[in-house]
Chains A and B, each alone.
Chain A
Amino acid sequence: MPDLKIKISDLYKIFGSNGAAHIDKVRDGVGKTELLEKHGHVLGLQNINIDIFAGRIQVIMGLSGSGKSTLIRHINRLIEPTTGQIMIDGKDVLSMSASELLHFRRFDASMVFQKFALLPHRTVLANTTYGLSMQGIEQSEAEKRASHWLERVGLAGFEDRFPAQLSGGMQQRVGLARALATDADILLMDEAFSALDPLIRADMQGILLDLQSELHKTIVFITHDLDEALRIGDDIAILRDGNLVQQGSSQDIVLNPADDYVADFTKDINRARVLTLGTLSHQKPSVDGIALDSALTLEQAMNDLAASEKEAITVTKDGQMIGQVTMRDMIYAASRVKAGDGDTVTYR
């Protein structure tokens, strides 16, 4: 297991004039609606416990109002919690002094925003150097680094434009370059791609995954889009009404939704594109089949199997045979059959 980077424990946020006064009520089970109607306070987050590991992409998913943007803002303390603990590299963010917090924000965590939040009066280059100038890095050096990152996100040649002259996708590339330029270990992305149209969004996801395969940052990614979550998330946490309802890998979320809310989320996704052979494979009397890697998605595997004109797939991992999957298994899995409905579906 990789190193623990961010550990959030027992985090509560109650919005209102005196949130702390109502914390015990919430602990005793007073719900969001009751808290609002009887006490005039809004429950933002309750009992959040989550471990985020170094070098991984942690997706936090939920519908609007579920508290996901609130949660990500606790990590760099743009929002103060009512109670709880956030340890980053063993240091408690919540007990940092004002100057420690500034240092933390300058060097250890950077952020990408839903509506880009670029400075409209500054050029693309000057926007990208913003975090660097906060770090006290000299102008010419900052511009050199900023140009490097602008090039990495595909914006070379746009340095002297103003944000208003760019399309949404390009503006968010500037936002990404600005965040990457500070070289912080932690990247907080608040619905960073939600404002973009689907093609551009897929494009940006690709850019992010490419960069991540090389940079290995700890990324906390907020989204309301399950497809996006499944595509980029190593780990996924699902929030509802300020509660964490499920945490796990994409396979877990799709195969074993914790409740109807999560099941609802997963209803419309293309399961064949998410599930992998490894998840489905099981021991069975050996049939002659083609050998495929366990990390392959069903979509690819079905294609390969159909082309091979054989009956089954021999699933391998690191060259070792670990089990088998038949076309029938895959069709059942992809078409959302519940446990027990099919005679060979044993994964649940």
Chain B
Amino acid sequence: MALIDWSKITLTDPPQMPREVLRELKKGIDGTFREFSRGYGEAIENFFHPLLMFLKWFQDLLIETPWPLILVILGALSWWGSRSWKMVVGTVVAFLFIGWLDMWEDTMATLAIVSVATLLCIAIGIPIGILMARSDRVQAMILPVLDIMQTIPSFVYLIPVVMLLGIGKVPGLLAVMIYAVPPIVRLTNLGIRLVDKEVLEAADAFGSSYWQKLFQVQIPLALPNIFAGVNQTIMMALSMVVIAAMIGVPGLGVPVLRAVSNQYLALGVMNGLAIVAIAIIFDRVSQAFGKRLQKHREGEHGA
């Protein structure tokens, strides 16, 4: 079986695989993966079951909590992050508006998935970033993976995820995380690598062990960068809400999809703006928090 169909080559047609070979190749890959998902799909699904339970519980919790309490919690969070009354008032007004336009439940569902995705991204991303900062070899291996995760169209990895896990919250969460985890990994790695060499040397000279150096010097000094990563991760998770809705994740993405297929302009715009409002609030609050982390740099020359 030839790998190149010599008869087809012309000035406008590059060398090609013979059609039947290519078809076989694709069928082979699909078949193998289908076998795999038949064989292990259930095991993998069981593995993620606790996560599914947690997601459901958290979403129900947000939806069933009385709205004034939610407003108080959100207001308090935004005060804790930004220390600005403007932010608190903005947050409360935005969420009141969301409720007034009948988007409360979807918004809570979106908040649930975005916060769980962000927490998981932090839990997975920071250790990977630390590993990358520790060794150039690990960095060289992980960087291309991150590049792929960020550039490959999300629909492409939705296919295997759906084949494996079907549609629902968990595959949606995975899709969101694949897209949202790279910034936190990158910025943790960068932040740790940017820590002043002389400060590290000082830590060594005073007899710090690896872990002491990591927790007392490297991570605290990398924190502003790590926090920029968290901020980016939240933003990217929010931007995946509509795509996640395609595979059955409840939230603000669902009405947007409905609006697209039925040409409901108002519905689409309102839900879209609700996502924007959440994004702006999260962004400003987390940025203000990140700035406060750097307060000790005040008065630094040239900073």
A165 to B299 Cα, complex, angstroms? 6
CB distance from B303 to the nearest CB of A (A): 7
Which residues 76-131 of A have a CB within 8 angstroms of B? Answer: 76, 78, 102-107, 109-111, 113-115, 117-122, 130-131
A110 to B207 Cα, complex, angstroms? 9
A164 at the interface (CB under 8 A from B): yes
Contact in complex: B206, A134 (CB < 8 Å): yes
Contact in complex: B221, A120 (CB < 8 Å): yes
Contact in complex: A120, B205 (CB < 8 Å): no
Contact in complex: A78, B201 (CB < 8 Å): yes
Chain B residue at smallest Cβ distance from A99: B209
A162 at the interface (CB under 8 A from B): yes
Contact in complex: A119, B217 (CB < 8 Å): yes
A276 at the interface (CB under 8 A from B): no
List A contacts of B35 (CB < 8 A).
none
B37 at the interface (CB under 8 A from A): no
B208 at the interface (CB under 8 A from A): yes
Contact in complex: B298, A164 (CB < 8 Å): yes
Q: Chain B CB within 10 Å — which of A104, A106, A120 has the most?
A: A120
Give the residue of B206, B207, B208, B297 whose beta carbon is less than 8 angstroms from that of A120: B297
Contact in complex: A119, B209 (CB < 8 Å): no
B198 at the interface (CB under 8 A from A): yes
Interface size on B, residues (CB 8 A): 25
Contact in complex: B199, A130 (CB < 8 Å): no
A195 to B20 Cα, complex, angstroms? 73
Contact in complex: B205, A164 (CB < 8 Å): no
CB distance from B296 to the nearest CB of A (A): 4
Contact in complex: B299, A131 (CB < 8 Å): no
Contact in complex: A119, B199 (CB < 8 Å): yes
Contact in complex: A111, B202 (CB < 8 Å): yes
Contact in complex: A118, B199 (CB < 8 Å): yes
Given A134-B212, A164-B299, A165-B299, do A117 and B206 touch, yes or no (CB 8 Å)?
no
Give the residue of A76, A110, A114, A134 whose beta carbon is less than 8 angstroms from that of B208: A134
Given A119-B217, A120-B221, A134-B208, do A113 and B202 touch, yes or no (CB 8 Å)?
yes
B136 at the interface (CB under 8 A from A): no
List B contacts of A113 (CB < 8 A).
198, 201-202
B24 at the interface (CB under 8 A from A): no
A66 at the interface (CB under 8 A from B): no
Contact in complex: B220, A121 (CB < 8 Å): yes
Give the residue of B206, B220, B296, B298 whose beta carbon is less than 8 angstroms from that of A106: B206
* Chain A residues at the B interface, C-beta cutoff of 8 Å: 76, 78, 102-107, 109-111, 113-115, 117-122, 130-131, 134-135, 162, 164-165, 178, 182, 188
Q: A119-B199, A162-B298 are in contact. List 17 more A-B contacts (CB 8 A).
A: A105-B206, A105-B207, A109-B205, A113-B202, A117-B196, A117-B199, A118-B199, A119-B202, A119-B217, A120-B297, A120-B300, A122-B296, A134-B212, A135-B207, A164-B303, A165-B299, A182-B206
